[in-house]
Chain A
Amino acid sequence: MDSNLLWIPLFPFLGFLINGILGKRMGNRTVSIVASVAPLLAFSVAFGAWRKIVSDTGVSALHWDGFPWIWLDGLLEVPFALHFDGLSAVMCLVITGVGSLIHLYSIGYMKGDPGYHRYFAYLNLFTTFMLLLVLGDNLLLLFIGWEGVGLCSYLLIGFWFQDDANCAAGKKAFIVNRIGDLAFLLGMFLCLIHFGTLDLAALVNADNISQVATETFEGSLFAGMGVITGIALLLFIGATGKSAQIPLYVWLPDAMAGPTPVSALIHAATMVTSGVYLCCRLMPLFQAAPMALSIVAVVGACTALLAAIIAFTQNDIKKVLAYSTVSQLGYMFFAIGVGAFSAAFFHVVTHAFFKALLFLGSGAVIHAMHHEQDMRKMGGLRKQLPFTHITFLIGTFAIAGVPPLAGFFSKDEILFAGYQAGIMEGDTLSRLFWYVSVATAGMTAFYMMRCVAMTFWGDSQVDPKLEGKVHEPGGWIGFALFVLAIASALGGFLNVPEFLGGHAILGHFTGLHVSPTDLTKDELVALHAGEFTSMFISLAIAGAGLLVGFLFYRKGSGLPAAFRNSPPGAFLGKLSENKFYVDEMYAAVIVRPFEAISQLMHTLIDQVLIDKLLVNGSALLVRGLGELFRRMQTGFIPGYLLTFGCGALVLIYILLNSMAKAGAQ
């Protein structure tokens, strides 16, 4: 019982209230102080809580019982309660830590924006919901946070709503996420039916799971499918929405319409990883559904590959990073799919560092370039922006997997998990997807190199009007970049694997680490050998990717043009440039038929049947009758008298008639 936990989401919420209500009157200075102090306070509370569960040996988690929230006795009992264990602790620290940095960064980035207070209010609200998501003690509370971050994402994507494209991007994100949310809801209903509770602790309880695992969907379309598999798949579909996986990834690249710090915080570091968090949180549930896990692996690997290919040809610096994010998220799901929850979560953390760094770096570039995002109009910025260049380079090496930077350890762990499942255990499908993931690792290194080369190296393509105005952003922007660069460089040491002499601290702390038990010595040796093999393969592929990228995009290289002129290159380039026509396909298959149907409904049902026939028709009838009655009032006295007399006669007739009938009976 620790009510201090409540303060973690409450501080940002207070910040939201203050900035949201009074922000317009307070002045930007006060707004920024309130906005950035709020997550910092939350960070310190989370840090304190973390210290508690680390230092007290007896305590592995903190819990706040809260209050009864939705309470139908025996039927549905949902408390508003918070739970703080290793997993939530790490998420909380990342959210509030990276979040605080991005708040500080935003002070510099959003300077002079007319919606300054609105921006910070949204950002605080986002932090609140994100913390609620990771702290929620039950699935419903988690879902509240889930929806809340979706809302904030929508609000912030469309933050510059004067531009229609931004609004459209916001709507797209919202609608696509709704599809996933529907599946999430259905998954929750299934949990409620079969587990009888939404309590996360009960959902991962081994006894409960083994009991539910025997149940199947009898007599339905999915007869024979296990209930656990159904739940896991539905929740995973929910996760594909939020975490931008095939087939619901299409919103994330468009979401770059929002301010860059938002892209860094929401669309790279925190919100989009909540799908991964959900899977990690329900690890035992997913482990009990092998079929669901293999689907997760397939989807993850495919997403990673597809997004990496698309990233090759993007010219918008943020789009490159967006597809990179999709690709990295694919990695995480691939790891989950092959059962390496610990590796996936580790990658969540390191990815939060280096992707936030990359986004903030790109934000610094964009800021310096006066909102120019096209890399073709950059180049040679290394001279004007040396500090940004260095930090961006650190981020690039980190994501590419250069040791000993953060990405190396986490990516290596994922690749090893794939290697273990595919090569060592010899599952054919897993092997294929291991190849895919290795290839993707190389491609990641390649397109990031391309990005760096196009932006910072080579000859300047900068608009002459801007030349000379480009300058290194200082202050909070620089500070945030600096801190994140250090985190990206050193974050990997959180979870150094055992074969490299580490203790997999993070994995143990979050309870996701699956220690291979009862292995013989030979098996252990083989395992370590495999790990070394895998590590060398991944190192080699990362190095190759970087090298090829450097060769392709170094100063004066004609290779890209040559490649584009070759027939397969032209084909692939076109496909990649057009993002494999997925948006167009969705438009043709779903959006346009849907619009056509709704147009038909609108015309047929609403306009013709309801409006014309029922509404206008009845109105016309009433008005017509009214007009008739009005005309009957001729003003002609004998007519009036005749009406009177006839009325009296009719009434007398009715009276006598009814009396006669009564008399006859």
Chain B
Amino acid sequence: MFSLPVLLYLSALLFSIGIYGVLARRNILVVLMSLELMLNAVNIALVGFGRVHALSTTSGEHSGQIFTLMVLAVAAAEAAIGLSLLLLIWRKWKTIDLRELCRLSG
């Protein structure tokens, strides 16, 4: 199927898209989605590496895949926290524009 370099390029592309989204979008929801995208981009790389290493080592460990599962769990927790913070922001600030959250500065 896909070779490792292809997976890595894909992963890097998605990661970059994620970074762009975080940097460029003002809607907090979109920013949160971009953050998830960054994590999942890494997951692709991890799965790719894991597959290569699982084939190459005799023990047949699928450590990359296990890492990916852990990341998924963490990403889910992060999303939960992120969304609840978003809710808090909406209640207190009545906005979901990232650029308006700049009262603390200096």
**Interfacial residues, chain A to chain B (CB-CB below 8 A):** 630-631, 633-638, 641-642, 645
Docked pose: A415 CA to B79 CA in angstroms: 114
Q: Is B3 an interface residue (CB 8 A)?
A: no
Nearest residue (CB) in A for B31 is A637
- Given A630-B106, A635-B101, A638-B23, 18 additional A-B pairs, CB 8 A: A631-B106, A633-B105, A633-B106, A634-B105, A635-B104, A635-B105, A636-B99, A636-B105, A637-B98, A637-B102, A638-B24, A638-B26, A638-B98, A638-B99, A641-B22, A641-B23, A642-B23, A645-B23
Whether the Cβ atoms of A635 and B106 lie closer than 8 Å is: yes
Interface of A is mostly: helix
Cβ B102 vs Cβ A636 within 8 A: yes
Closest residue of chain A to B19, judged by CB? A645
CA–CA, A645 to B22, complex, Å?
Answer: 11
In the complex the two chains form, what is the Cα distance from A635 to B19 in whole Å? 19
- Determine the chain B residues whose CB is within 8 A of the CB of A642 once the complex forms: 23
Q: Does B91 contact A (CB under 8 A)?
A: no
Q: How far is the CB of B84 from chain A (nearest CB, A)?
A: 18
Task: Report Cα–Cα, A642/B106, bound state, in Å.
Answer: 17
Q: In the complex, which residue of chain A has the Cβ closest to the Cβ of B98?
A: A637
| Residues 1-56 of B at the A interface (beta carbon under 8 Å) | 19, 22-24, 26
**Pairwise interchain contact B103-A635, C-beta atoms closer than 8 A:** yes
Residues on A with C-beta less than 8 A from B99 are: 636-638
* 11 contacts across the A-B interface (CB closer than 8 A): A633-B105, A635-B105, A635-B106, A636-B99, A636-B102, A637-B98, A638-B23, A638-B26, A638-B98, A638-B99, A642-B23
Question: How far apart sit A631 and B103, CA to CA, in the bound complex (Å)?
Answer: 13
Q: Which residues of chain A come closer than 8 Å to B105, judged between CB atoms? A: 633-636
Give the shortest distance, in Å, between A15 (CB) and chain B (any CB). Answer: 66
**A642 to B19 alpha-carbon distance, docked (Å):** 10
A-B pairs with the 5 shortest C-beta distances?
A635-B105, A635-B102, A636-B102, A637-B98, A635-B104
Please give, as numbers and ranges, the residues of chain B lying within 8 Å of A633 by CB-CB distance.
105-106
Chain B residues within 8 Å of A, Cβ to Cβ = 19, 22-24, 26, 98-99, 101-106
Interface pair B102/A634, CB less than 8 Å apart: yes
Q: Which A-chain residue is minimally distant from B102 (CB atoms)?
A: A635
Interchain CA distance A636-B105 in the complex, whole Å: 8
Contacts of B24 in A (CB 8 A): 638
A640 vs chain B, min Cβ distance (A): 10
With most chain A CB atoms within 10 A of its CB, the pick from B24, B26, B99, B105 is B105
> What CA separation (Å) do A635 and B102 show in the bound complex?
4
Q: Which residues of B contact A631 (CB under 8 A)?
A: 106
Q: A615 → chain B, closest Cβ, in Å?
A: 27
Compute how far the CA of A645 lies from the CA of B24 in the bound complex, rounded to whole angstroms.
12
Q: Which residue of B lies closest to A627 (CB)?
A: B106
The residue in chain A whose Cβ has the minimal distance to the Cβ of B103 is A635
Taking CB atoms, residues of chain B closer than 8 Å to A645 are: 19, 23
Pairwise interchain contact B106-A637, C-beta atoms closer than 8 A: no
A642 to B103, CA, bound (A): 18
Q: How far, in angstroms, from A631 to B101 measured CA to CA in the complex?
A: 17
In angstroms, Cα B99 to Cα A635, docked, is 9
In the complex, what distance in Å separates the CA atom of A630 from the CA atom of B105? Answer: 8
A135 to B22, CA, bound (A): 90
Question: In angstroms, how far is the closest chain B Cβ from the Cβ of A283?
Answer: 80
CB closest residue in chain B, given A635: B105
Q: Which residues of A contact B101 (CB under 8 A)?
A: 635, 637
Bound CA span A638–B22, Å: 8
Interfacial chain A residues near B104, Cβ < 8 Å? 635
Q: Min CB distance, A98 to chain B, in Å?
A: 76
Question: B19 — which chain A residues lie within 8 A by C-beta?
Answer: 645
Q: Give the Cβ gap from A614 to chain B, nearest Cβ, in Å.
A: 29
How far is the CB of B57 from the nearest CB of chain A, in Å?
27
Closest to A648 in B: B19
In the assembly, what is the distance between CA of A631 and CA of B106, in Å? Answer: 5
Shortest B97–chain A CB gap in Å is: 10
Point out which of A633, A634, A638 has the most chain B C-beta atoms below 10 A from its C-beta: A638
- State in angstroms the CA–CA spacing of A636 and B104 once bound together: 9
Distance (whole angstroms) from the CB of A643 to the closest CB of chain B: 11
Closest-CB distance, B88 to chain A (whole angstroms): 15
Which residue of chain A lies nearest to B105 when distances are taken between CB atoms in the complex?
Answer: A635
Measured CB to CB, the nearest residue on chain A to B28 is A637
B81 to chain A, nearest CB (A): 17
Nearest residue, chain B, Cβ from A638: B23
Closest-CB distance, A641 to chain B (whole angstroms): 5
**Nearest-Cβ distance from residue A623 to partner chain B, whole angstroms:** 15
Instruction: Chain B residues near A637: list those with CB within 8 A.
Output: 98-99, 101-102
Residues of A within 8 A of B23 (CB): 638, 641-642, 645
Q: Kindly name the residue among B26, B102, B104 whose own CB sees the greatest number of chain A CB atoms within 10 A.
A: B102
* Closest Cβ–Cβ distance, residue A648 to chain B (whole Å): 10
- B residues in contact with A638, CB < 8 Å: 23-24, 26, 98-99
- The minimal Cβ–Cβ distance linking A487 to chain B, given in whole angstroms, is 84
Least distance between B10 CB and chain A CB atoms (Å): 20
For B26, the chain A residues whose CB sits under 8 A away are: 638
Q: Could you tell me the distance between the alpha carbons of A480 and B21 in the complex, rounded to whole angstroms?
A: 105
**Given the complex of chains A and B, what is the CA–CA distance between A18 and B57 in angstroms?**
93
Q: How far is the CA of A633 from the CA of B19 in the complex (A)?
A: 21
Which residue in chain A gives the minimum CB-CB distance to B24? A638
Complex Cα distance A92/B106, Å?
76
Bound-complex Cα distance A268 to B46 (A): 101
Return chain B residues, CB-CB under 8 Å to A634.
102, 105
- State the CA gap A330–B105 with chains docked (Å): 80
Note all chain A residues with C-beta closer than 8 A to B98. Answer: 637-638
CB neighbours of B103 from chain A (8 A)? 635
Chain A residue at minimum C-beta to C-beta distance from B25? A638
B54, chain A: closest CB distance, angstroms: 29
CB distance from A638 to the nearest CB of B (A): 6
Question: Looking across the interface, which residue of chain B has its beta carbon closest to that of A634?
Answer: B105
Which of A630, A634, A637: most chain B Cβ within 10 A?
A637
User: B85 CB to closest chain A CB, in angstroms?
Assistant: 13
B20 to chain A, nearest CB (A): 10
- B17 to chain A minimum Cβ distance, whole angstroms, is 13
CB A581 to nearest CB in B, in angstroms, measures: 67
Q: Chain A nearest CB: distance from B22 CB in Å? A: 6
Q: In the complex, what distance in Å separates the CA atom of A630 from the CA atom of B106?
A: 5
Bound-complex Cα distance A645 to B23 (A) = 9
Complex CA gap A641/B24 in Å reads 10
**A636: nearest chain-B partner, CB-CB:** B102
CA–CA, A642 and B101, complex, Å: 16
Rounded to whole angstroms, the CA-CA distance of A187 and B101 in the bound complex is 79
